[in-house]
Structure 1
Amino acid sequence: MKIEDLLTRARETFDARTVFAEPVERDGVTVIPAARVVGGGGGGNGEDQQGRRGSGGGLGLLARPVGAFVIRNGEVSWQPAIDVTRIIATLGAVAVTGLFVGSRVRRKR
């Protein structure tokens, strides 16, 4: 893939539709889901010792839901998504840190 093609695809990929999904309407309530999107890419070209040229590139995205805008009776509210995996990982990290610090304090005494 040429660098120009990579940049074109990146421009097409990163737009509002990547962050906000199509609105969904049910019983007079409209919901617009939103996500946090992180991306990165890279490319390069070169030539080997026999004079052969080559180029390449890549693009990667990571999207996680963060919540949704809810429109009801003309009022807009934000409903955050709850990431249970992140909560458990954070609690685990805090617990491990607490055990580590506790053991160090006990050794000093």
Structure 2
Amino acid sequence: MRLPEALEDLPVDPETTRVFGDPHQTPDGSTVIPVSKVRRRADGRVSARPLGVFVIHGGKSTWVPAVDTTRIALLGEFIGLVAATLATAAMVRRPPWPDVRAVVSRRI
């Protein structure tokens, strides 16, 4: 059984959105607990997205978020595309260079 089929077979309570994974011990004595967000889509499929991990070390717990750098890069590319489109539209409407058209008339 592949992972997508296994996720679809999981019973999902509509009230529950966060799932805490099994704690893992690291060699330095830290305990790491993964946290995911689970949701059921409109077509009935289940999707899970990692949110981050809780790290417990020396009696103190810290939250380490899972940062999706792909989304951040995609947002930057989208902003650049919108800025380039607006600048192009502004230049087509009225170019920034001076009007150098010359009128030539024939007088004899």
Which TM class, normalised by the smaller chain length? 0.5 to 0.7
Cα offset, 1:33, TM superposition: 0.8
Aligned to 2:52: 67
- Alpha-carbon displacement from aligned partner over 1:68-97 (angstroms, at most 9, x marks no partner): 111111111111112122122111211111
- Return the alpha-carbon distance in structure 2 between the equivalents of residues 68 and 23 of structure 1: 10
Aligned to 1:13: 12
- Return the alpha-carbon distance in structure 2 between the equivalents of residues 18 and 74 of structure 1: 24
TM-score if structure 1 supplies the norm length? 0.63
Tell me which amino acid in the other structure corresponds to 1:71.
Answer: I
User: Number of paired residues?
Assistant: 84
TM-score if structure 2 supplies the norm length? 0.63
Higher strand residue share: 1
Following TM superposition, the consecutive aligned residue runs of length 4 or more in structure 1 with deviations greater than 3 angstroms are 14-18
Tell me which amino acid in the other structure corresponds to 1:84.
Answer: T
DSSP 3-state at the match of 1:82: coil
- Return the alpha-carbon distance in structure 2 between the equivalents of residues 97 and 17 of structure 1: 34
Cα offset, 1:18, TM superposition: 6.1
Q: 5+ residue gaps in structure 2? A: 1-8, 95-108
**Identity score, percent:** 31
Larger radius of gyration: 2
Aligned to 1:35: 36
In structure 2, relative to structure 1, the CA distance for the partners of 1:34 and 1:98 (3 Å cut) is: same
Cα offset, 1:35, TM superposition: 1.6
Matched, 1:23 2:23: yes
Q: 5+ residue gaps in structure 1? A: 1-8, 42-57
Higher helix residue share: 1
